[in-house]
Amino acid sequence: MKPGSVKHGNEVQQARHDGLKWAVVTALLVVAVVGNTYFANIGLLYRVLGVVVLCVLAGFIALATTKGRDLTELAVSAKKEIQRVVWPTRPETIQTTAIVLVAVLVVGLMLWLIDTLLGWAMSGVIG
């Protein structure tokens, strides 16, 4: 939903239950953490599977909230935007990389030369 837009009927009803959904998400994550500690004597594989299942369930519930739907909408629009990007060709990438490497080499040599000259000058002054 865009900022400043008006919520209607079903959206208001869904937004009303967001607090409950977030409470369930929090409870599931707490159960995952506490359960992992409580069942420390159970095999690691089973504890990891339990935590993963609870986290996935919490994620699905979180995505059912207003903020979750906004996040999903943002992800979809970001994917569309990435598909519209014009990526450089391989020769353009190689040429740009070569230019950057040469520039870094030149600047590095200039800094080394300046450092050497200043070191030589300071040695002459200090003795």
3-state class (DSSP) for residue 50: helix
Closest CA to 13 of 49, 56, 65: 65
3-state class (DSSP) for residue 74: helix
pLDDT for residue 127: 75
Alpha-carbon torsion 45, 48, 52, 54, what sign?
positive
pLDDT at 14 over 70: no
pLDDT at 11 over 70: no
DSSP state of 4: T
pLDDT at 99 over 80: yes
CB-CB neighbours of 104 under 10 Å: 10
